Amino acid sequence: MTLIKSISGIRGTIGGRTGDTLNPLDIVKFTTAYATFIGGKKIVVGRDGRISGSMVRDIVCGTLAGMGYDVIDIGYATTPTTELAVRMAEADGGIIITASHNPRQWNALKLLNREGEFLTAADGAEVLRIAESEDFNYAEVDQLGKVTVDDSFNQRHIDSVLQLELADVETIRKRKFRVCADTINSVGGIILPELFKALGVDYEILNAECTGDFAHNPEPLEKNLTGIMEKMRGGGFDLGIVVDPDVDRLAFICEDGTMFGEEYTLVAVADYILSHKPGNTVSNLSSTRALRDVTEKHGGKYTAAAVGEVNVTTKMKEVGAVIGGEGNGGVIYPESHYGRDALVGIALFLSSLAQKGCTATELRKTFPDYQIAKNRIDLTPETDVDAILVRVKEMFAKDNSAQVNDIDGVKIDFPDRWVHLRKSNTEPIIRIYSEAQTMEQADALGKQLMDVVYKMQ
């Protein structure tokens, strides 16, 4: 059993002893700490389709009411829907009940500010401090808040996507796309059909029922997507679309059943945006170099940020980026909002395909071709991550061809390849990502660092 408390929220497995898992007592404590910190009178709560979602929602909403907050319960909702709902409802904050790509036994609380954006590192640290202090002050009986259910925000989210200047709805409709989507038994199965209808796209949904009993590992990686890839190989579809349980990550599958490439979701959308509106871009340190190449082709400047959505959005604001995101399929388009949004990504990607009149396979061939290997190592209680990072930096300190970046773990950048080692914020693992011209070269570079970690565990 696992409980992870970090500046980005509280995440853990359901069931087990207090302090070790995501359980009712810890949910109350963390929700109370957030409510104490955020201030105000109104908070939005949304959740994905996880089995434990209703239990967690009831505790969260009851605790917020006990703190004197009025709660807008928007029900089954994607992460970007909840983010937008905070702004649309003029609320003081929001809580998203989702463990994103984690398996079915996990759940989490993601915390938003009044802009509908994730808390900064400093704000998240303050919530953690308040939670540990347990210096709480609940409302008197006449000051208790109330819970109101409002299920209008899915449609309002879709409407906002359709209104984006570069969402070319008319051209999409004329193209008469047929798509196959895997919504992994969560909220994507509720909202994506409505988006497709609005865009005039014919569709078939796999794993559509929002039960939280995921048909496969919910992380949208190629190894988990054999079902939809086989379906695409059967023909009859222009595009395969895959989302994670809270619909902030997005992966595409070409018409022939091959992966478009998770890393290339952002690259393709950025290329489309930059072709209409040149400017700067941002992605995190673990994302493909292809975004840098595409950005420079359009005359813009690319900047890398530490991993984590709030780090990316902060850097985007600093450099005035017109598009940004993360290589895990997260598209952040400021014209909509500062948050990863698969609905926005779908509309912009289809706009690009429709305007170019090409297939997904043809579009993919227009981008620089890099191969990225994504490896992970489970942590043990004895693992000294800081010592491992120091050892890695020492290994490459005298290599004049390598640039070392330690703003988030350690990234070693060579002229023709890179490798990034960092401790995950969401799982008890070390992630080791590496990129090169071939998968063999990328994997070999990643394995070199994995050997260092194994020897030090």
Q: What is the mean pLDDT of residues 174-181?
A: 98
Which residue's entry shows tokens 């703190």? 67
Q: Which of 35-44, 318-327, 447-456 has the lowest mean pLDDT?
A: 447-456
Q: What is the mean pLDDT of residues 121-133?
A: 92
Q: What is the DSSP letter of 222?
A: G
CA distance 429 to 449: 14
With a CB cutoff of 8 Å and minimum separation 6, the contacts of 207 are 182, 183, 184, 185, 189, 214, 215, 216, 227
Q: What is the mean pLDDT of residues 113-118?
A: 96
- 50-95 per-position pLDDT tens digit: 999 999 999 999 999 999 999 999 999 999 999 999 999 999 999 9
> Helix H segments across 134-208?
153-162, 169-175, 188-199
CB of 432 closer than 8 Å to CB of 286: no
76: helix, strand or coil: strand
pLDDT of 249 over the 80 cut: yes
- Please, which pLDDT band fits residue 451 given cuts at 50, 70 and 90? confident
**What pLDDT was estimated at residue 76?**
98
Closest CA to 169 of 348, 435, 340: 348
**What pLDDT was estimated at residue 20?**
85
* Rounded (10°) CA dihedral 260, 266, 269, 272: -100
CA distance 310 to 299: 26
Q: Which of 8, 100, 186, 434 is catalytic?
A: 100
pLDDT of 1 over the 80 cut: no
CB of 108 closer than 8 Å to CB of 12: yes
Closest CA to 372 of 217, 222, 182: 222
Closest CA to 426 of 20, 30, 109, 183: 109
More confident residue, 391 or 224: 224
Q: Check the CA dihedral 429-431-432-438 and report its sign.
A: positive
Report residue 257 as tokens: 């059943």
**Residue 321: phi, psi to the nearest 5?**
-65, 140
CA distance 300 to 229: 35
- Please, which pLDDT band fits residue 248 given cuts at 50, 70 and 90? very high
**What pLDDT was estimated at residue 358?**
97
Query: What is the secondary structure of 242-256 as a DSSP string?
Result: EE-TTS--EEEE-TT
Buried b (16+ CB within 10 A) or exposed e, 11-35: bbbbeeeeeebbbeebbbbbbbbbb
CA distance 151 to 353: 32
Which residue's entry shows tokens 């997507």? 225
**Residue 249: phi, psi to the nearest 5?**
-110, 150
- Please, which pLDDT band fits residue 305 given cuts at 50, 70 and 90? very high
pTM exceeds cut of 0.75: yes
**What pLDDT was estimated at residue 380?**
80
Q: What is the DSSP letter of 119?
A: P
Q: What is the DSSP letter of 223?
A: G
Q: What is the mean pLDDT of residues 427-432?
A: 86
Strand ranges (DSSP E) for 49-125? 70-76, 93-97, 106-112
CA distance 154 to 133: 37
**What pLDDT was estimated at residue 336?**
98
- 340-350 per-position pLDDT tens digit: 999 999 999 99
CA distance 83 to 94: 7
Report residue 242 as tokens: 């895959």
**What pLDDT was estimated at residue 45?**
98
**What pLDDT was estimated at residue 7?**
64
CB of 349 closer than 8 Å to CB of 369: no
CB of 324 closer than 8 Å to CB of 341: no
450-457 contact pairs (CB < 8 A, 24+): 450/375, 450/377, 452/388, 452/391, 452/392, 452/395, 453/377, 453/388, 453/421, 454/377, 456/383, 456/384, 456/387, 456/388, 456/391, 457/377, 457/380, 457/382, 457/383
Average pLDDT, the chain: 94
Question: Is 100 annotated in the active site?
Answer: yes
CA distance 398 to 415: 16
Three-state SS string over 29-40 comes to HHHHHHHHHHCC
Q: Give the whole-number percent of the chain exceeding pLDDT 90.
A: 83
In 3-state terms, the chain is what percent helix, strand and coil (to 5)? 40, 25, 35
